[in-house]
């Protein structure tokens, strides 16, 4: 103080600033501030008013008006930077099982209005070897989207998104099945059915190789959701004194009903067999064989449970400002 000792200043001020939500070069949402303005409301000191001449009061006010923006406006930036840090976690690469990785970035600049913010996200998927998976970028029409609910955050996932996720995981769907295969919760396969026993010795072991041939296709409706799998089923016989011999290869088209759930902040999928169709691709032993029942047994008893075990890892959902999905409601193609 100019009269000796310390002078305490208590002040009240209004800070007004506008912020803009955009995206950076890497596709991450980012808030930035602009037009920061400080307005002094009151200034009080611990000195009696009689000892602080008016000229000094004006000097103090003028000085504070110049100094405060440099002191207080960075506080606004600090708050926005905390929010931006949370946005950065959204674009972190996360594992998709053991088959690849995914991350979410912005497809288009954010759209804001008085009641909500709309973010169009792009998913970047990489296979285990690092190759990026191509995804359609066309957006659904606004009329096809469910109406926005008040006081709710909605995440809308497209069928194309889920098809791409399954295309990454389909390498893990491959399965070798033997006629004495018994797993946890799995009954023996019916390879000793009358159809096969007519052409094979009872002791002849049979093995089936299930392999995914094309990208799965997901169809989502308000009532039910389905997944189409396109596989090959190659049947082999082997004995201790000869090399394995391929009997035939079936092209298999499976229609599976899909169910969705939320667990551990991930979207969980599980499948149930609706219908399986097979077409004879190549054969060396059987000329005619009613395999429909055998094929359905293989898919229902072994193949679908094996796929469901792979899917237990779930699909990581975007981390948007710490939003939790544990209490989410799922309807149609919408997670809200």
For residue range 311-333, what is the model confidence (pLDDT) as tens digits? 988 888 888 877 888 878 887 65
**pLDDT for residue 104:** 87
Are residues 249 and 165 part of one domain? yes
Which of 88, 110, 145 terminates a domain? The answer is 88
Tell me what the mean pLDDT of segment 239-250 comes to: 75
Tell me what the mean pLDDT of segment 171-192 comes to: 58
The DSSP element (H or E) to which 90 belongs, if any, is helix 54-90
Q: Is residue 268 part of a domain?
A: yes
Structural domain span for residue 65: 9-88
Q: How confident is the model at residue 200 (pLDDT cuts 50, 70, 90)?
A: low
Are residues 166 and 80 part of one domain? no
Tell me what the mean pLDDT of segment 196-203 comes to: 55
Burial, 134: exposed, middle or buried (Cβ in 10 Å; 0-12, 13-18, 19+)? Answer: exposed
Q: How confident is the model at residue 26 (pLDDT cuts 50, 70, 90)?
A: confident
Are residues 179 and 72 part of one domain? no
Q: Is residue 140 part of a domain?
A: no
Q: How confident is the model at residue 281 (pLDDT cuts 50, 70, 90)?
A: very low
Which of 62, 88, 114 terminates a domain? The answer is 88
Are residues 195 and 52 part of one domain? no
Are residues 164 and 309 part of one domain? yes
Q: Is residue 122 part of a domain?
A: no
Intra-chain end-to-end CA distance of the chain, in Å: 60
Are residues 176 and 84 part of one domain? no
Q: Is residue 138 part of a domain?
A: no
How many structural domains does the chain have? 2
How far is 123 from 164, CA to CA, in rounded Å? 9
**Do 186 and 196 form a contact (C-beta atoms < 8 A)?**
no
Q: Is residue 143 part of a domain?
A: no
Are residues 305 and 180 part of one domain? yes
Are residues 164 and 75 part of one domain? no
Q: Is residue 117 part of a domain?
A: no
**pLDDT for residue 146:** 64
pTM of the model: 0.70
Are residues 165 and 311 part of one domain? yes
At 275, which CATH number?
3.15.20.10
**Do 38 and 68 form a contact (C-beta atoms < 8 A)?**
yes
Which of 59, 88, 117 terminates a domain? The answer is 88
CA distances from 171 to 44, 77, 87, 121, 264 (A): 72, 46, 32, 26, 24
Are residues 211 and 71 part of one domain? no
What length is written for the chain?
336
Examine the pLDDT at 288 and tell me if it is beyond 50: no
Burial, 241: exposed, middle or buried (Cβ in 10 Å; 0-12, 13-18, 19+)? Answer: exposed
- HEC sequence for 258-299: EEEEEECCEEEEEEEEEEEEEEEEEECCCCCCCCHHHHHHHH
Are residues 303 and 194 part of one domain? yes
How far is 81 from 130, CA to CA, in rounded Å? 32
Are residues 36 and 180 part of one domain? no
Q: Is residue 322 part of a domain?
A: no
Residue 11's nearest CA partner among 76, 78, 57, 75 is 57
């Amino acid at each position: 103080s100019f009269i000796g000792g310390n002078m305490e200043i208590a002040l009240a001020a209004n800070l007004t600033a506008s912020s803009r939500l955009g995206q950076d070069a890497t596709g991450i949402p980012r808030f930035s501030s602009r037009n920061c303005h400080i307005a002094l409301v009151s200034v009080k000191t611990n000195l009696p008013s009689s000892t602080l001449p008016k000229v000094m009061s004006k000097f103090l006010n003028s000085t504070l008006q110049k100094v405060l923006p440099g002191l207080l406006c960075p506080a606004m930036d600090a708050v926005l930077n905390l929010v931006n840090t949370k946005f950065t976690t959204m674009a972190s690469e996360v594992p998709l099982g053991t088959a690849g990785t995914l991350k979410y970035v912005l497809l288009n600049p954010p759209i804001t209005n008085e009641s909500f913010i709309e973010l169009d996200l792009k998913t970047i998927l990489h296979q285990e070897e690092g190759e990026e998976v191509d995804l359609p970028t066309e957006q659904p029409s606004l009329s096809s989207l469910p109406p926005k609910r008040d006081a709710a955050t909605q995440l809308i996932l497209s069928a194309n998104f889920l098809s791409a996720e399954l295309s990454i995981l389909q390498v893990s769907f491959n399965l070798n099945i033997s006629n004495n295969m018994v797993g946890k919760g799995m009954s023996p396969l019916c390879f000793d059915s009358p159809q096969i026993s007519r052409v094979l010795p009872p002791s002849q072991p049979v093995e089936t190789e299930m392999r995914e041939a094309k990208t799965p296709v997901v169809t989502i409706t308000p009532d039910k959701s389905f997944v189409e799998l396109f596989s090959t089923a190659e049947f082999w016989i082997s004995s201790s004194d000869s090399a394995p011999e391929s009997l035939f290869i079936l092209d298999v088209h499976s229609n599976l009903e899909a169910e969705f759930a939320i667990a551990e902040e991930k979207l969980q999928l599980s499948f149930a067999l609706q219908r399986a169709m097979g077409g004879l691709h190549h054969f060396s032993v059987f000329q005619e064989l009613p395999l429909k029942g055998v094929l359905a047994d293989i898919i229902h008893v072994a193949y679908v449970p094996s796929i469901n075990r792979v899917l237990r890892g779930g699909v990581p959902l975007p981390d948007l400002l710490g939003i939790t999905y544990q209490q989410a409601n799922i309807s149609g193609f919408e997670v809200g």
